[in-house]
Amino acid sequence: MSNKEIQAVTALFWNNYTSSVTLTLISYEYLLQFEKEVTYVWQRRWSLMSWLYLTVRYFGLFVALLSGFWGGLVYMPEAVSRLIFSILRVL
């Protein structure tokens, strides 16, 4: 494999790892807060704020699931991707 192909595969692995970690953390947070959500949101009278809260909350989970299984929703130019990976490599 050429150096460019190795870098592309490495970038793909990083994308998969970060998507998996993000999905795991978001899912864990949802499980921790689920009991409070049922008590304070679901058992109350439905209002516009209840709908907005649930829409915003579960839209994030939906995006994380799509990102985790599909591999990303946001197009990122190669130069930006290289910059991000070089910063992450230092960390």
- DSSP assignment of 22-84: HHHHHHHHHHHHHHHHIIIIITSPP-HHHHHHHHHHHHHHHHHHHHHHHS-SS---HHHHHHH
pLDDT for 22 equals: 80
More confidently predicted of 27 and 75: 27
Global pTM value: 0.57
Model pLDDT for residues 34-71, shown as the tens digit of each residue: 999 899 888 889 999 989 988 988 887 887 777 666 65
Q: Are 68 and 19 in contact (CB under 8 A)?
A: yes
Number of domains composing the chain: 1
Residue 37 sits in which domain range?
3-90
Gyration radius (Cα) of the chain, Å: 18
pLDDT for 72 equals: 55
